[in-house]
Chain A
Amino acid sequence: MPELNAKIPSGPLKDKWTQHKAHIKLVNPANKHKYNIIVVGTGLAGGSAAATLAELGYNVQVFCFQDSPRRAHSIAAQGGINASKNYPNDGDSIYRLFYDTIKGGDFRSREANVYRLAEVSGNIIDQCVAQGVPFAREYAGYLDNRSFGGAQVSRTFYARGQTGQQLLLGAYSALMKEVNKGSVKMFPRTEMLELVVVDGVARGIVTRNLVTGDIETHAADAVVLATGGYANVFHLSTNAKGANVTAIWRAHKKGAFMANPCYTQIHPTCIPVHGDYQSKLTLMSESLRNDGRVWVPKKPQDKRNPRDIPEEERDYYLERKYPSFGNLVPRDLASRNAKEVCDEGRGVGPTGQAVYLDFADALKRSGKAVLAERYGNLFDMYEKITGSNPYDEPMMIYPAAHYTMGGLWVDYNLMSNLPGLFVIGEANFSDHGANRLGASALMQGLADGYFILPYTIGDYLAGVKAGKATTDIPEFKEAEKYAKEKINRLLTIRGKRTVDEFHRELGLLMWNQCGMARDEKGLKEALSRIFEIRNEFWQNVDVPGSGTDLNQSLERAGRVADFLEFAETMVYDALHRKESCGGHFREEFQTPEGEALRNDNHFCYVAAWEFNGVGKEPVLHKEPLDFEEVHLAQRNYK
């Protein structure tokens, strides 16, 4: 196996991307249409990439499992998207966005990638506005900004509480424009099941048509995975129900390295769990922390109505512990602190697993109309779900699994260690280190799709002979056969437990043992439990229906089967990383104040895992992280 080469261009940080663009190989415009590119996923990353590649002249085939590309999980993003435009004139710059992102990620990301991300962030806003994305505006007609966790400037652009929706509809419209021209062929309700690798090079995919059940093969000169994150390994998460690890996991099994899978983000402001039937957790955008104040009673087990608890008996613990960032500390800190106060018995609500997010002061200061303008749809959603009105009573919130920083390993060109396989958006591991800052996932997805991959993929394709893609080779037949056999196996077990029962069991285990806080004992227990659950799954799952029509139980079964394998890799990663950083908090490694304690001497690297068989410990490859620009420091938000 060749060593990991991140292919970071040489030269000063701020010139790397410009220089790289100036020197990478180009595909002759007249030849572009001869190249076939497969894009799996139509979220912000996949939608923007597919549209842009088609505009450039490539022949693009696009896949998603929803009935329309417009419904990808990106649609649910609420709060906003960062860009270092410095429109508010509050001192923002490319460097500051770069620095905040590196620091927010607890010094576990690549400087060169993050700098490039900050560099192209402004172009994203320009592009989206030109597409007609209705970002929030001030009365003068210019764009409005707000601040998000982990930053002291206002650099977040937003569209009410539906930023993801509006950005995705922009990318979708660009995509449909290309569908209309015939340069994109769209395959909705189609799930990728296998990656096809020929002589070490990604050559295509195997898919299942989710309506007819047909298994099909598709060949290409390059395959782009933009299939999102794996937070549903926790079963209960803020992700859409269909979000899965299948595409990247099956690519991993074909040789693509999985990087930093233990870096998962637990979002501090979600509606708490209220029943065992619960199917998902709903996020209340982090932007609420601009105006909402987080508190719990000072006394444990204080069951009084929140309005009856006087000021001096409340603990605004984030403001107390982090006076300069206050309620706007990064997500990992906000989540862990919520867990801590609940573990002390000071949690509120019927389960004691919740804290207050209170808007009383903001209401007094700004009035109901202003709050309604900023958060109206979030308040409505909260009321619909809980039956309680946040204008009158404080919200109750609790952390929930939300985002995954880990993903397939990619180099600076966003190509995995398998030539021809590119990975973009949440599906790769690239830019957020051990913790992502709010409003930076949308930025990364669109940066990858609009402004980075369309250049870097050309560098690869220029070295590939066009028009050679064919499914008429044994590797495709084998992959197809394998996919069919797996489906058959799932359908013939006819055991006693439903797919959801297994998913819930796995999710709860991961949440307890590999969630907000982890330790060696718990992780080791998790390894043996995952093994048992997976074994039982393959003997006792009941997947009703047939493989030759629309069968949602079968779709879920395939995804849960993959989570049951992937979970182990996640735990191995968490176990081996004997330090705390960002979202990865190992109880054994903390400062006397309870903050994450990194170990830069031993763990300042990307852990990229090579598949070694189901149930076997994967092989670790390290990509050292060199910090030339920033000084490694203990994060401080006090």
Chain B
Amino acid sequence: MSKINLTLKVWRQKNGREKGGFETYTAKDIDTDMSFLEMLDVVNEQLTHEGKEPIAFDHDCREGVCGMCGAVINGQAHGPLKGTTLCQLHMRNFRNGETLVIEPWRSRGFPILKDLVVDRSAFDRIIAAGGYISVKTGQAPDAHAVPVRKEDSDTAFDAAACIGCGACVAACPNASAMLFTAAKVSHLSHLPQGQVEAPERVIKMVEQMDKERFGNCSNEYECEAACPKEISVEHIARMNSEYRQAKWKAKH
């Protein structure tokens, strides 16, 4: 265990209406075993004692699975470590004396609510548009009625591991939500249960995504690089092809 000192440049913004700006703070004697959010906790305790308002940031599970946390650290969504959410990023990944620029996700689709907290309800609306199998409680047959190939089940899982944090949007130069949307489309269409509604699902979800003012995909692959669950851009290719087929079917 060792201690480091850091300079933080943090985006502070009172609410969605007022303009924001950077404030500089020092984070002293930071234990390298701390998580990034624990480091922010320490800074917030210090700010509170100084009579200042602490930095607002979203978090809940602190185990990398709820998708609540997230910020851009020195230009990288969730910071420098691959496949890691901010809450699982530990301070041993930083050097003594470093300056860290900490900003919220920036996208038209994610309005800022306060400091590092953004409104990601657009993701819920994309799921509501069709990101499910419309089975009602009680309708299900025995779980073994339909065997599923292990490969398909595993690929479905890889996509279903999405935590909906929004890092893909934050990392994309166009602020596109393709990886998020594709992950759900691909999760469900890899399973036999998901086939029935697959064509309608992909059309409705893509239409909703477009309505939410996310940008287009221009194959930059920044989303995959930033994704804490390392979800592959191959799901985007799959969604595109499903979308084309579904549109073609709808016409003919």
Binding site for B on A (CB under 8 A): 48, 51-52, 55, 66-71, 73, 75-76, 85, 87, 123, 125-132, 134-143, 159-160, 162, 164-166, 169, 172-174, 176-177, 179-180, 186, 188, 211, 240-242, 274-275, 277-280, 282-283, 381, 384-385, 387, 450-451, 454, 498, 500-501, 542, 544-545, 549-550, 552-553
Minimum Cβ distance to chain A for residue B109 (Å): 14
Judge whether B48 and A176 touch: CB under 8 Å: no
In the complex, are the beta carbons of B51 and A544 less than 8 A apart? yes
> How close is B14's CB to chain A, nearest CB, in angstroms?
7
Pick 27 A–B contacts, CB within 8 A, sort by A: A51-B137, A66-B66, A66-B68, A67-B121, A68-B164, A71-B164, A73-B66, A127-B137, A129-B140, A131-B133, A132-B133, A134-B191, A135-B153, A137-B148, A140-B147, A141-B150, A141-B153, A174-B132, A275-B33, A381-B63, A384-B64, A387-B33, A387-B90, A498-B45, A501-B45, A544-B52, A550-B114
Taking CB atoms, residues of chain B closer than 8 Å to A550 are: 15, 56, 113-114, 117
**Contact yes or no, B88 A385, CB < 8 A:** yes
Min CB distance, B43 to chain A, in Å?
A: 11
Most buried by B among A123, A130, A280: A130
- Contact indicator B193/A129 (Cβ below 8 Å): yes
Please give, as numbers and ranges, the residues of chain B lying within 8 Å of A542 by CB-CB distance. Answer: 48-49
CB distance from A424 to the nearest CB of B (A): 14
Our pick among B84, B156, B163 for the contact of A132 (Cβ within 8 Å) is B156
In-complex Cβ contact of B132 among A165, A176, A387, A454 (8 A): A176
Please give the distance in Å from A54's CB to the nearest CB on chain B.
10
Q: Is B215 an interface residue (CB 8 A)?
A: no
Interface residues of B, Cβ cutoff 8 Å to A: 1, 14-15, 31, 33-35, 37-38, 41-42, 45, 48-49, 51-54, 56, 58-68, 81, 84, 88, 90, 92, 113-114, 117, 119-121, 123-124, 127-144, 146-150, 153-154, 156-157, 160-161, 163-164, 187-188, 191, 193-194
- On whether the beta carbons of B149 and A141 are closer than 8 Å, the reply is yes
A545-B53 in contact (CB<8A): yes
Once the chains bind, are B132 and A277 in contact (CB under 8 Å)? no
Contacts of B142 in A (CB 8 A): 126
Given contact pairs A76-B63, A126-B143, A134 touches B153 in the complex (Cβ within 8 A): yes
Partner of A549, one of B14, B37, B84, B144: B14
B-chain residues with CB within 8 Å of residue A169 when the two chains form the complex: 160
- The listed residue (B66, B90, B157) touching A160 by CB distance below 8 A is B157
Q: How far is the CA of A162 from the CA of B113 in the complex (A)?
A: 30
B242 to chain A, nearest CB (A): 15
Most buried by A among B65, B67, B124, B133: B65
A174 to B132, CA, bound (A): 7
Q: Which residues of A contact B153 (CB under 8 A)?
A: 134-137, 141
Also in contact, A66 and B48, with CB within 8 A (given A76-B66, A129-B140, A162-B161): no
Tell me the smallest distance from the CB of A439 to a CB of chain B, in Å.
16
Q: Is the CB of A68 within 8 A of B121?
A: yes
Q: Which 9 A-B pairs have the closest CB atoms?
A: A141-B147, A173-B132, A130-B140, A126-B140, A134-B157, A129-B143, A176-B128, A52-B137, A180-B128
Q: Which of B33, B42, B127 touches A172 (beta carbons < 8 Å)?
A: B127
Q: Given A134-B191, A180-B128, is A553 in contact with B54 using a C-beta cutoff of 8 Å?
A: yes
User: Which residue, of B120, B121, B133, has the highest number of chain A Cβ atoms within 10 A?
Assistant: B133
Where chain B touches its partner, the secondary structure class is: loop
Contact A131 B64 (CB under 8 A): no
A48 to B117, CA, bound (A): 28
Which of chain B's residues has its CB closest to A212's CB? B15
Asked if B143 contacts A73 (CB within 8 A), the reply is no
Indicate if the CB atoms of B140 and A127 lie closer than 8 Å.
yes
Contact B67–A387 (Cβ < 8 Å): no
Are A277 and B38 also in contact (CB < 8 A) when A131-B132, A241-B59, A549-B14 are?
Answer: yes
B133 touches A142 (CB 8 A): no
The number of residue pairs between A and B whose CB atoms lie closer than 8 Å in the complex comes to 212
Residues of chain A within 8 A (CB-CB) of B141 are: 126, 130
Residues of chain A within 8 A of B131, CB atoms compared:
173, 176
Contact indicator B143/A125 (Cβ below 8 Å): yes
Assembly CA distance A454 to B1 (angstroms): 52
The residues of A that contact B161 with a CB separation of less than 8 Å are 162, 165
Question: How near does chain B come to A507, taking the closest CB pair, in angstroms?
Answer: 15
B61–A500 CB distance below 8 A = no
Tell me, rounded to whole Å, the shortest Cβ–Cβ distance linking B185 to chain A: 12
The answer to whether B41 touches A242 (Cβ under 8 A) is: no
For A75, the closest partner residue in chain B by CB is B66
| Nearest Cβ on chain B to A388's Cβ, whole angstroms | 11
Query: Which chain A residues border B45 with CB–CB below 8 Å?
Result: 498, 500-501
* B38: A residues at CB distance < 8 A: 277-279
B34: chain A residues at CB < 8 Å are: 275, 277
| A130 and B33 within 8 A (CB) | no
B202 CB, nearest partner CB in chain A, Å: 15
- Contact check, B61 vs A75: say whether CB atoms are below 8 A apart: yes
Cα separation A538 to B251 with both chains bound (whole Å): 67
Other than the known A137-B153, A141-B148, A176-B132, what 17 A-B pairs have Cβ atoms closer than 8 Å? A66-B66, A68-B120, A70-B127, A76-B65, A76-B66, A87-B144, A126-B143, A127-B140, A132-B132, A132-B133, A134-B191, A164-B65, A165-B163, A166-B160, A384-B88, A542-B49, A544-B48
Q: Which residues of B contact A451 (CB under 8 A)?
A: 137
The complex places the Cα of A542 from the Cα of B65 at a distance, in Å, of 31
Min CB–CB distance A502 → chain B (angstroms): 12
Question: Are B60's CB and A66's CB within 8 A?
Answer: yes
Q: CA A542 – CA B51 in complex, angstroms?
A: 9
| Cross-chain contact B64 with A381 (CB below 8 angstroms) | yes
Indicate if the CB atoms of B160 and A277 lie closer than 8 Å. no
User: A132 and B188 in contact (CB under 8 A), knowing A68-B123, A279-B62?
Assistant: yes
A131 B135 Cβ-Cβ under 8 A: yes
Structural contact, B62 and A241, CB atoms closer than 8 A: yes
Asked whether, in the complex, the Cβ of A76 is within 8 Å of the Cβ of B191, the reply is no
Neighbouring A residues of B144 by C-beta, 8 Å: 87, 142-143
User: Could you say which residues of chain B place their CB within 8 Å of the CB of A69?
Assistant: 124
Q: Chain B: which residue is nearest A552 at the CB level?
A: B56
Question: What is the distance, in angstroms, from B226's C-beta to the closest C-beta of chain A?
Answer: 17
